[in-house]
């Protein structure tokens, strides 16, 4: 029996009632990303009652699904057609949803080479803080004037509205995929990656675990095999990248707090105690450390980056510069004037 269900009207009625009573809403899917951001107090609005793939056209490379649809369901449909979500979004739980994927805006190891979640969002349907179910964007890539609301929803953590439907661009799966392990020190590996980035190598993932550099090569069989012969190293199970994406490697078992450091690829080493795992060819670094949030953020800021703690607390998200916070407030007022959607999830006054 199909579990597909269009519950957009039920969600709209719940939002309308919340607006009339000025009741905050805690928007949630499976809760697999609940460790990010501050804890929200409010009436639960569960998007999982609104689920199912609305349309899929493999020839047009577009799939449209309701927000509560399980991410594994979408990926299975795409896999059968030889296609994929190129941003490789992490699930971080068995019941992760399409809406949660967009709301969190997290991308996997392929991110620097193929783009982020927001780059593949073509259009959305959402319930605004005016009690209206609206559509933004479409099912084709195009330029827009004013706010690109569809892509603004990526990484908004439900603070701007209730996602009900998402249209996503998908890509064909690579014909060949091969992973390598190269015994290089971290500094040497990062230097090599900078050099390789200027060359036509089919690299689609690069991670250093403190002992060796791990690479994934994807593309046509000829280019992949040519790169493999040139780079050397030993073969690595392709499952490594899934375990990295889902934080199942031994590194993540350390009980110390987990921090995600976003840094320029050419930055130096942050002077921080703890263990690091370098992803995205150096642009994303995972840190296990008991250092204070202030110390971590100060060191990362010196290198031009920012740090996010993977624990639900007031210290989870980095503070915004004053000018940028002003834009966030203006956008929040436009889409959620009463401030009922996930209040305070990202920042205290949003």
The verdict on residue 256 lying in a domain is yes
Residue 141 CA to residue 121 CA, distance in Å, equals: 9
Whether 138 and 121 share a structural domain: yes
pLDDT of residue 3: 76
Whether 14 and 161 share a structural domain: yes
pLDDT of residue 178: 98
Q: Which of 256, 278, 255, 274 is nearest to 265 (CA)?
A: 278
Task: Transcribe 70-87 into DSSP letters.
Answer: BHHHHHHHHHHTTEE-TT
The verdict on residue 321 lying in a domain is no
Residue 115 CA to residue 110 CA, distance in Å, equals: 8
Whether 19 and 159 share a structural domain: yes
pLDDT of residue 69: 98
Whether 279 and 207 share a structural domain: yes
The verdict on residue 198 lying in a domain is yes
CB contact set of 208 (below 8 Å; sequence gap of 6+) = 184, 186, 189, 190, 214, 277, 278
User: What are residue 348's DSSP bridge partners?
Assistant: none
Whether 200 and 271 share a structural domain: yes
Compute the CA torsion angle 198, 199, 203, 208 (nearest 10 deg): -50
Identify the H or E element spanning 261: strand 258-262
Whether 234 and 276 share a structural domain: yes
Whether 256 and 305 share a structural domain: yes
Whether 182 and 157 share a structural domain: no
Residue 149 CA to residue 136 CA, distance in Å, equals: 6
The verdict on residue 2 lying in a domain is no
Phi then psi for residue 301, to 5 deg, are -65, -35
Scanning the structure block, which residue is given the tokens 């084709």? 140
Q: Say how many domains are in the chain.
A: 2
Whether 14 and 78 share a structural domain: yes
pLDDT of residue 146: 54
Task: Name the stretches of the chain with pLDDT < 50.
Answer: 1-2, 141-145
The verdict on residue 3 lying in a domain is no
The burial of 262, by beta-carbon neighbours within 10 Å (0-12 exposed, 13-18 middle, 19 or more buried), is given as: middle
288: containing domain: 176-309
Contact 97, 69 (CB under 8 A): yes
Whether 20 and 133 share a structural domain: yes
What pTM does this model have? 0.94
Identify the H or E element spanning 277: strand 275-279
The verdict on residue 199 lying in a domain is yes
Strand pairing class (275-279; 258-262): unpaired
Q: What is the CATH number of the domain that holds 83?
A: 3.30.465.10
The verdict on residue 340 lying in a domain is no
The verdict on residue 342 lying in a domain is no
Whether 168 and 181 share a structural domain: no
Burial state string for 77-109 with b = 16 or more CB within 10 A and e = fewer than 16: bbeebebbbbbbbbbbbeebbbbbbbbbbbbbb
Cα separations in angstroms, 111 against 96, 114, 187, 245, 281: 19, 6, 21, 11, 10
Whether 271 and 140 share a structural domain: no
Q: Which of 38, 44, 156, 160 is nearest to 100 (CA)?
A: 156
């Amino acid at each position: 029996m199909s579990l597909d269900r269009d519950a957009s009207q039920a969600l709209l009625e719940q939002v309308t009632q919340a607006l009339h009573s000025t009741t905050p809403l805690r928007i949630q899917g499976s809760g697999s990303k609940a460790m990010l951001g501050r804890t929200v107090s409010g009436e639960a609005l569960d998007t999982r009652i609104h689920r199912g793939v609305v349309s899929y056209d493999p020839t047009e490379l577009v799939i449209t699904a309701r927000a509560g649809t399980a991410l594994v369901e979408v990926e299975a449909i795409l896999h059968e057609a030889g296609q994929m979500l190129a941003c490789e979004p992490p699930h971080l739980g068995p019941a992760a949803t399409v809406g949660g994927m967009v709301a969190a805006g997290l991308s996997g190891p392929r991110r620097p080479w193929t783009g982020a979640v927001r780059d593949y969002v073509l259009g959305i349907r959402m319930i605004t803080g005016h009690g209206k179910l609206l559509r933004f964007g479409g099912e084709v890539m195009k330029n827009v004037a004013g706010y690109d609301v569809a892509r603004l929803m990526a990484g908004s953590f439900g603070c701007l509205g209730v996602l009900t439907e998402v249209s996503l661009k998908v890509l064909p799966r690579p014909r060949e995929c091969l992973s390598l392990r190269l015994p290089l020190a971290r500094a040497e590996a990062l230097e090599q990656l900078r050099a390789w980035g200027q060359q036509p190598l089919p690299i689609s993932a690069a991670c250093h675990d403190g002992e060796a550099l791990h690479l994934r090569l994807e593309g046509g069989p000829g280019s992949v095999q040519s790169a493999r012969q040139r780079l050397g190293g030993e073969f690595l199970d392709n499952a490594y990248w899934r375990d990295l994406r889902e934080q199942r490697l031994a590194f993540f078992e350390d009980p110390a707090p987990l921090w995600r450091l976003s840094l320029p690829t050419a930055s130096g080493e942050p002077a921080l105690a703890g263990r690091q795992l370098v992803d995205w060819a150096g642009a994303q670094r995972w840190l296990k450390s008991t250092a204070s949030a202030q110390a971590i953020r100060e060191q990362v800021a010196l290198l031009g980056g920012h740090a996010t703690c993977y624990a639900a607390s007031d210290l989870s998200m980095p503070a915004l510069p004053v000018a940028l916070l002003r834009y966030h407030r203006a956008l929040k007022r436009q889409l959620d004037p009463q401030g009922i959607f996930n209040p305070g999830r990202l920042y205290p006054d949003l």
